Amino acid sequence: MPRVLGEEIVLGRRTAPSRVLFGPHVTHLADPHRPRALGPDHVAHYRARAAGGTGVVVTEVASVVPEDHPYEDAPLAPLGGDGWAAIADACRPYGTVVLAGLGHAGGQGSSAYTRGPLWAPSAVPDPASGEVPASLSPWGISEIVAEFASAAALAVEAGCDGVEIQAGQHALLRQFLSGLTNQRDDVYGDDRALLLVEVVRAVRSAIGSRVLGLRLTVDELAPWAGITPSSARAVVERVADLVDLVVPVRGSALTVGATRPDAHTEPGFLRDVCSSVRVPGVATVLAGSVVDVPFAADVLASGDADLVEMTRAQLADADLVAAVRAGSAPRPCVLTNQQCRVRDVRNPRISCTVAAPEVPERVVGRSVSPVVVIGAGPAGLEAARTLARAGCPVHLVERASTVGGLLPLVAGLPGRERFARLVDWYVDELAALGVPISLGVAAGSGVLQRGGHPRHEAERELPRRRPNTRVERQEITHDLESGRAVLACGGVDRPGRGTPIAAALRDGVPPGPVVIEDPVGDGAAVALAELLAAEGREVSIVAPGLLIGPGLARTGDLVDAQARLARAGVRRVTESSVTGWSDGVVSVADVVTGAVSSLPAAVLVDAGPRRAPSFAAGPGLIAVGDAVAPRTVAEAIREGRAAARELLA
Amino acid sequence: MSVLGEPVRLGPLVARNRIVFPAHLTNAAVARLPTAQHAAYYGARAAGGAGLVITEEQSVDPADRPYEKLVDGTDPAVVAGYRAIADAVHGHGALVLAQLGHNGGQSSSIYSRAPVDGADDEPDPMFREVPRVLSDAALARLVDGFGLVASHVAAGGLDGVEVQCSQASLIRQLFSARSPRAEPFLLAVLRAVRAAIGPDRVLGVRVQGDEGLAGGLVTEDAVRVAVAVEPLVDYVNTAVGVATRTLPLIEPPMGVPAGYAAHVPSAVRAAVSVPVIGVGRFTTPEQATEAVASGSCDLVGVVRGQIADPSFAAKALRGERVRRCIGCNQECIARVGLNQRLGCAVNPAAGRESVSSPPVASGGARVLVVGGGPAGLAAAVAAARAGHAVTLAERSDVLGGQLALASRAPERRELANLVADLAHEARDLGVVVRLRTPVGSVDGVDAVVLATGARPALPPWAGGLERVVDVTDVLAGRVAPSGRVLVVDAGRGHPATSTAELLARRGADVAMLTPALVAADALAPTLDRERWRRRAAEVGVAEYTDRVVLAAREGLVVDVLEHLTGTVTPWPADWVVHAGPPTPEVPDLGVPAVRVGDCLAPRGIDAAVREGTAAGRSM
């Protein structure tokens, strides 16, 4: 059944080679010398997905007018011609339908680059920036309609198969459709869909029979004034004769995170809404955390949608459709959003937690001398897989009795369950590649001394993670002086006054009130607090910054996390540090005012960072991941991959 | 003549006066290289009379990249950019040095995709990444990096190098961690740089004099370092604050007095015989003169003062008024912190020196400017400067609009300096100012600029209740809330915090409510927030986050929703003071008019001054 993803589908006058869409997203892949053009790195980004079997690629949304400059390197349609042509050329050999994303961010834009006002339906400030926009005049509106048409004409002239009009998140057209943002008293207020209809009509006449897509917010999650599924269905019906495909999405300016949420939201959450706005004659695309192949196949087979948007799944594995066609499992998206949600003023280039290189490369197989990989966390697993795929004999040894390093612990946390899939995927891959994994092997720092000829021995029968995993009791001999090794043994706890969070997760915490001190704030403390609070425990988090879990800003979960903590009754003690702990009381000082307070605490958990173990460097030894400096899964996988490449070079 | 005008010897070279434009981030780099904007930006300050310009930091390691637009000095392609900077500055008679540095653990891996290298493995509180501890071999490679970049500096024709050992610096981190590797590393760096630039160029260091941290570096440490390096350097520059932990010490907002950091150069100057540079919020020529005349330093660093008025130095030497930096930090610090190019709220040309302005229309027109706030004043000044006959009509009896009100709040008085400076410029240029004049006659006028601002807008839940008022009612003195006052912050920035503090200082029992997750969050980017929180704690303003008002009824009672949990609580109060976005005020004059500032869309000072200036120029 999964093969339904790889079936062709007709869109207007074009046929897409598969039913999988790669949706528009911010990439920061622009050439800094031409920041508003689509550059060579964009081309490579889309080509990789086309080569991997994507049916439809929608390029990064280009602003139709220069007055719209929502982020520094936001593409600008009048400068888009070369880039669209190069992308269309690059994808053409694979038959992929290439649509140019076109939009205008309206009041959700930025005035930082234009230095002029934001333009929106009404003077309603955007909740994110707080900036009050100027209200568009009728003349300004007609200019925008004309510019959508010109941009669309330019895109198809450049060779695109069509365009997708952005009326989803960060879109002026949505702002006109919504009572939250459209408070006009002219015709565009009386009929909030009028601007969208005018734009669709103008674009259709500009592109003739080419493919016309519409990304449309169908639920703003604000029923008191926002777009609802029923109001959205009426809009779809009005434009049904003009559009070839519709991608329903959700979320308003009040709920930006709801549009492309992390794993705290159930994957496929739009399925019911999507089918409710589906009208005959318009191909409907299910978007919204569609990351698992069996689910996607079920949606298509059931007729709830005609295509599936699997953007993040194809960031994790560009060859997703090809893998499905070959009957293998793509590398799983873990829905953390940490590396791919890059609408961020710092302009980080898009990446993926589980697939570090932006454009995956296949390592060419060759005969090389054996490598031992010490540590079966994500860094070691990635290193072992990369080496084995290149034909290098590799042996993976792990001190613990399970595979995955910290990931099995992390996977026990709310919203992080999908990391278990990643571990399973690695185990299956290594099994298929015939990589031996020795568990329970104490390969600590002592064996890594120069000149040592350590002999490792598996000491006990090892639990089998999966039936097909080749995890065996065996002896290993590896000469670290002349041999080659990847040290992926992970980090160690820092001595501190509380229980290290890893230990708390592994062993649980004794009864009584809990205080979690979180000096860094990457989300683990939030998750532990949620777990404990769900058990009815009294929990406080103390953090030095303005917010609890500031690292969650990257994932889009920051606001939701505060809400979950508040509802669970977790005390959020910000701008504070722990100054002492005795007799069941933690003393806390405000880092700005110095004000002192106390919190009940039978247990103090230290959610601070771990540290790298000390080890002696050797000529053939490459340290990776937390063994270098404790960081996230993304760095572990990236460095595991890089170490393997270095050994293969 | 002012002491500022005395030339000063810096090792092999002589600076023509005592006014320095010290290193600061501009975000003008593209692809990690210096640009024409750098040359134009520094050139404008040299043209404005500065004696010594020090460029923003040039990194000595490609992997060191805490922010996107940090110049990578190891790239040989920087030499052409350095050449352009040298030519631009030398053309106006100033000296120019490049600051060289490495950010160590105060950095990020988001661009490099490599571990952050630090003096130790303590994560920086801003970047929150555990660093990889630099080995001795890695430090030795960095010494080579300093030498390499210094050779690029020399090849580009700059006059020398300043080695950054303060705000964001691996060298500071080594000293701060009391590492025995610190001093040998710094000496090795200075020797490598000297070897690269030779004896005919200037070599200086910037030392850390007060980290503002418990157990951190203090003035005595700066003195010790200065003494240790004295044989190798031509001058010592000073700094206080750590860029990622105690940033408000480095770039303090309005309210912090000039010379707040004078203790550091004073102590260093007493211990070494090379010239010493002092910095510390000098915004007027008088303050800069006093710093040198009092003996606290030999040269005075003025960053924001010269951003606000590029001719600060020349005007200081001539005894003229400058357009003052008001310490609002909205366009310099806040923008740079957001990866945007540096700007200035009072000087719209700052950060755009390389952008050619549209030609100024030839003068002679009769221009009417309606509204005497910052937008109207800026328009009047610009139009008068372009040679037009300008009349400015202001409805009230004072100039300044919202700024005049805002400057009545504690610690916000310097906002009035902008009004005073613009009004002064307008008078000097012959603008006819008519107060208590709602619109003025449009008869015989060739062009009209509408700068009528915005009027307060109470939310629907206010329901016409007498004791639900706007912040401007309080600031203007129309009402005097007392007792239990609930300040509802539905806007952004200072209106709510200023009013809450003002009322608390008058003895009211003030609670401040915000729908945001953080109280006074909009004050953070301008570095006002910490100072505000300390003052609020002092006068007892209680802060409540995550809350919105649903309704108000006689009594006075408001229903407050905690939006994270959905809990609604009745909240009794004697007064409710609301701060929210105002509504544009757009009178119909019956003639075409250019709208500028808040009457187009209510925004900040920068938009008002920028749009007013642009409109005035284009009449």
* Partner-chain contact B565 A519, CB within 8 Å: no
Q: For residues B600 and B607, give the distance between their C-alpha atoms in angstroms, rounded to a whole number.
A: 10
Q: Mutate one of A29, A36, A346, A557 to test the B interface: name it (highest B CB count within 10 A).
A: A346
> Which single residue is written with the structure tokens 């030519």?
B87
B441 touches chain A (CB under 8 A): no
Instruction: Answer yes or no: are the C-beta atoms of B133 and B121 closer than 8 Å.
Output: yes
Instruction: Answer yes or no: are the C-beta atoms of B293 and B333 closer than 8 Å.
Output: no
Tell me the pLDDT band of B228, cut-offs 50, 70 and 90: very high
Q: How far is A635 from chain B (nearest CA, A)?
A: 8
Length of chain A: 649
A1 touches chain B (CB under 8 A): no
User: Which whole number is the average pLDDT over B452-461?
Assistant: 95
Nearest Cα to A98, choosing from A159, A51, A160?
A: A160
Contacts of B522 in chain A (CB under 8 A): 130
Q: For residues A141 and A196, give the distance between their C-alpha atoms in angstroms, rounded to a whole number.
A: 11
A31: nearest CA partner in chain B = B31
Contacts of B130 in chain A (CB under 8 A): 609-612, 629-631
Q: How far is A418 from chain B (nearest CA, A)?
A: 24
- Provide the whole-model pTM: 0.95
B339 touches chain A (CB under 8 A): yes
Contacts of A348 in chain B (CB under 8 A): 110-111
* Partner-chain contact B517 A567, CB within 8 Å: no
Nearest Cα to A519, choosing from B363, B405, B124?
A: B124
Secondary structure string (H, E, C) spanning A99-152: EEEEECCHHHCCCCCCCCCCEECCCCCCCCCCCCCEECCHHHHHHHHHHHHHHH
According to the model, what pLDDT value does residue A431 have?
A: 96
Nearest Cα to A376, choosing from A582, A636, A607?
A: A636
* Partner-chain contact A33 B30, CB within 8 Å: yes
Instruction: Answer yes or no: are the C-beta atoms of B606 and B331 closer than 8 Å.
Output: yes
B407 has pLDDT over 60? yes
**Could you tell me the domains of chain B?**
3-337 (3.20.20.70), 366-454+586-617 (3.40.50.720), 460-579 (3.50.50.60)
Instruction: Answer yes or no: are the C-beta atoms of B60 and B98 closer than 8 Å.
Output: no
Distances (CA, A) of A559 to A24, A407, B558, B604: 24, 25, 25, 26
pLDDT tens per residue, range B551-565: 999 999 999 999 999
Q: How far is B461 from chain A (nearest CA, A)?
A: 16
Nearest Cα to B104, choosing from B79, B80, B82, B133?
A: B133
Q: For residues A362 and A383, give the distance between their C-alpha atoms in angstroms, rounded to a whole number.
A: 14
Cis peptide before B556 (omega within 30 of 0): yes
Q: Which residue in the set B339, B518, B602 is minimally distant from A132, CB to CB? A: B602
| Residue A450 one-letter amino acid | R
* Partner-chain contact A550 B601, CB within 8 Å: no
Distances (CA, A) of B611 to A116, A140, B29, B63, B614: 8, 19, 26, 40, 5
Residue B299 structure tokens: 């040269």
83-112 of B, contacting A, C-beta below 8 A: 109-111
According to the model, what pLDDT value does residue B403 have?
A: 96
339-378 of A, contacting B, C-beta below 8 A: 345-349, 351, 356
**Dihedral, CA of residue A359, residue A83, residue A109 and residue A23, to nearest 10:** -50
B599 has pLDDT over 80? yes
Q: For residues A344 and A65, give the distance between their C-alpha atoms in angstroms, rounded to a whole number.
A: 21
Tell me the helices (H) and strands (E) count for chain A, helix number first.
Answer: 18, 28
B491 touches chain A (CB under 8 A): yes
Radius of gyration of chain B (CA): 26
C-beta neighbour count of A359 within 10 angstroms = 13
Instruction: Answer yes or no: are the C-beta atoms of A583 and A600 closer than 8 Å.
Output: no
**Could you tell me the domains of chain A?**
2-326 (3.20.20.70), 371-481+615-644 (3.40.50.720), 499-606 (3.50.50.60)
According to the model, what pLDDT value does residue B193 have?
A: 98
ipTM: 0.95
Q: For residues A423 and A354, give the distance between their C-alpha atoms in angstroms, rounded to a whole number.
A: 11
* Partner-chain contact B518 A574, CB within 8 Å: yes
* Partner-chain contact B130 A132, CB within 8 Å: no
Q: Which residue in the set B115, B517, B537 is minimally distant from A593, CB to CB? A: B537
* Partner-chain contact B603 A133, CB within 8 Å: no
Q: Which residue in the set B129, B132, B601 is minimally distant from A132, CB to CB? A: B601
User: Please, which residues have CB within 8 angstroms of residue A348's CB and are 6 or more apart in sequence?
Assistant: A28, A342, B110, B111
Q: A297: number of CA atoms within 13 Å, CB side?
A: 14
> Which single residue is written with the structure tokens 């925008």?
A144
531-560 of B, contacting A, C-beta below 8 A: 533-534, 537, 546
Length of chain B: 619
A623 pairs with which residues across the strands? A487
B46 has pLDDT over 80? yes
Q: Which residue in the set A132, A551, A595 is minimally distant from B128, CB to CB? A: A551
A257 touches chain B (CB under 8 A): no
B368 pairs with which residues across the strands? B391, B448
A313 in the Ramachandran plot: left (φ > 0), alpha (ψ -120 to 50) or beta? alpha
B566 has pLDDT over 80? yes
* Partner-chain contact B121 A631, CB within 8 Å: no
> Which single residue is written with the structure tokens 């490369």?
A361
Q: Which of A462-466, B248-252, B483-487, B500-504 has the lowest mean pLDDT?
A: A462-466
> How many contacts does A have with B, using Cβ atoms within 8 A?
118
545-564 of A, contacting B, C-beta below 8 A: 545-547, 550-551, 559, 562-563
B340: nearest CA partner in chain A = A112
Inter-residue long-range contacts of B56-59, CB under 8 Å, 24+ positions, other chains counted: B56/B23, B56/B24, B56/B25, B56/B26, B56/B99, B57/B23, B57/B25, B57/B99, B57/B100, B57/B101, B57/B164, B57/B168, B58/B98, B58/B99, B58/B100, B58/B101, B58/B149, B58/B153, B59/B100, B59/B101, B59/B102, B59/B103, B59/B149
Q: Which residue in the set A72, A574, A592 is minimally distant from B530, CB to CB? A: A592
Could you tell me the sign of the dihedral formed by the alpha carbons of B291, B296, B299, B301, in that order? negative
Mean pLDDT split into 10-residue runs, chain A, 649 residues: 91 96 98 97 97 98 98 97 98 98 98 97 94 96 98 98 98 98 98 98 98 98 96 98 98 95 97 96 97 97 97 97 96 96 96 71 61 96 94 93 95 95 97 94 50 35 42 48 83 91 93 95 94 96 96 94 97 96 95 96 95 83 95 96 89
Mean pLDDT across chain B, nearest whole number? 96
B127: nearest CA partner in chain A = A520
Q: Which residue in the set B30, B338, B603 is minimally distant from A132, CB to CB? A: B603
Q: Mutate one of B72, B117, B129, B550 to test the A interface: name it (highest A CB count within 10 A).
A: B129
Q: Which residue in the set A347, A574, A629 is minimally distant from B68, CB to CB? A: A347
* Partner-chain contact A345 B524, CB within 8 Å: no
21-60 of B, contacting A, C-beta below 8 A: 30-31
A581 pairs with which residues across the strands? A586
Q: For residues A45 and A27, give the distance between their C-alpha atoms in angstroms, rounded to a whole number.
A: 9
B529: nearest CA partner in chain A = A592
A72 touches chain B (CB under 8 A): yes
Q: For residues B115 and B129, give the distance between their C-alpha atoms in angstroms, rounded to a whole number.
A: 9
